[in-house]
Structure 1
Amino acid sequence: MGYNISCIQQLIDYIKARVTEHETGQVDYVFKNEFFIDLVLTICKRSNKMITDQHRDANCPIIFIERRREEYYSIFQKYCHGATSAVIFGEIICQKLKEPIEQSVYKKTARDLTDEMRSNCESLNGNRANLEKHILKTLAEQEDFDKYMNYIHNPRDHFKSFIRDEVSRFITDQFSVSILPKMKENIELLQQKIMKAAHESTQHVQVNRGDVGLWLKSFTQQISDELIFSEKDLTGVKHDDVDDFNLLEDVIRHELPAIMFDSSSRFNTKTIDEKLDYKFRPDELLTDHLCQCCWVQCPFCGVICTNTIENHHGDHSVAFHR
């Protein structure tokens, strides 16, 4: 089926743990077993489409081949024109590096963007108390009663939603001025890193009279701190007869700029969310930073505890009641 059955049990255990954790708080009710079953089914149904799409994209041979069409055709053309194994192998390495390069650039840019927002964005450059002031100011300006009720009854969700909106607005406003230059700078640094790794790997093999296996091991180790790329990514690619390492390095030097240009030409405000895993997105990084605190509310006025530690010991405290 493409998944491990134990994962479902892990999901159920996680949901059960969160429900139990909630029940141990200051609540005067207990969930029935039927509620737990319905909750598990609801979460699974909600996640079904996303999991199905991810599974299909990752495992469907038709989609895989379609994505590799140009890559395979280019390699086929080179073989037809009598290209050497070193040339073919160098081109394959560059093609295989394309996705890790993009992931690395987006992750690095997301971290840089998060740091910049924590410094330059008024609503996000402090603690949760400062964030709440800006939320209240925005609610007053919008005069949207439904949003205000959501803030009262579901403060954590409202805070997350506000952070997402702030990040989206910042990306839209600052993309061409600040974000795009950072992305291009990051991709240029990666290109330099890869070329340096290729050159030093060639020297390493020549000094030690090694083979292509030693070259590849040295190359992947040197870029491993920046890219998720290993020898396993080239499993099934024939390269045993590659012995001209200077040519291999030259091919990478020649082909890599085109890969970089193709990736950078697609940088835009939408791809930041599309290319990044959920946990690496700027809004999630900022949410983790600002929302890892106590969210217990006063049972009378709904004000949030000001303690910065979630599940803290001792009494809850507030600056004032509403």
Structure 2
Amino acid sequence: MKLFLRRLLLFIILLILATTILLGVLVQQVNKKECFVLKPGLVETVFLGFSHVQCNINDSLIPHARNLGDAAEPFFYTFQKAKRIFESNPEIQNVFIEFSSKCISNYMDSTIFSDYHMPQFLPRYATVLDGEDYRLLLRLNASQLLSTLSAVPRETLLAYRNRHQDIMQAKKWGGFVYQTESTVAKRLERIRKGFPRPALSNDTTKYNLIYLQKLVLLCQEKGKRIWFFSSPLHAQSGDRSNEALFNEIRETRFSTIPYLDFRDLYFPDEQYRDFEHLNGRGARRFSIFLNQLIRDPAIRQPGNYQQLIYKTWIASQAD
């Protein structure tokens, strides 16, 4: 019996060792520089952010641009994504980062470490995090971190199998998603019946802003042009509830970053998916406008950006 237990223990140790070595080899392979190339073709402009970016910007309508947004993505993961993609795609010149009222809400910190969000994000990003990032996750939610790590080998193996594909597909890092429906009519009916609109908390994020600052510094170190922007919002959206606080943070911490405010651009109800996101029809209209805007030399010069936005918006609707 003792001999059997010794052999069993030895087998388990060897299995763990072999698995660790194999995982290490896979991590090394999927982290090669060529695995983070955006395909196909030249990419000069990227859009970064959470679901507003993912739903609102149809990059097929913007030449040499890529939508790198992902639903509920905090800047903790956006920073990791950008760091690798910038290194492997030096032709990227222009970086547009969604920075809006929700980005400063404490909800965004929960998307880093909550029991719900960590299993969604960590397995897809585990191979590109460094020790500092893991120490933060360990401090914020150690039990969920340890639980989620069990899913990393499978995701790493899938990334290895797909390593010759475009990085956004290989690692499932997001990208434009065409939304077909509109729930605005149902939501408006709920408001008419007296149901309250969801509103953002005035409790601010800590870590999301820290990683946004890291992202800005990364862009500056790599010589990228940066713009912040806020996506269109329906008039009934509750995402304006902390607008004063958002403006204060933007003007005090990020005053040197050009800011493009698209929140008041008009879209009819049927072009919204909900109060905060456009559907595919709205995304087409918004993306055609964006294409004209980012190709106007005036956007690269200091000036009245809102005047430029409305001039371009009117021109894009006439086409």
Give TM class, smaller chain.
under 0.3
Identify the structure with the greater strand proportion. Answer: 2
Identify the structure with the greater helix proportion. Answer: 1
Larger radius of gyration: 1
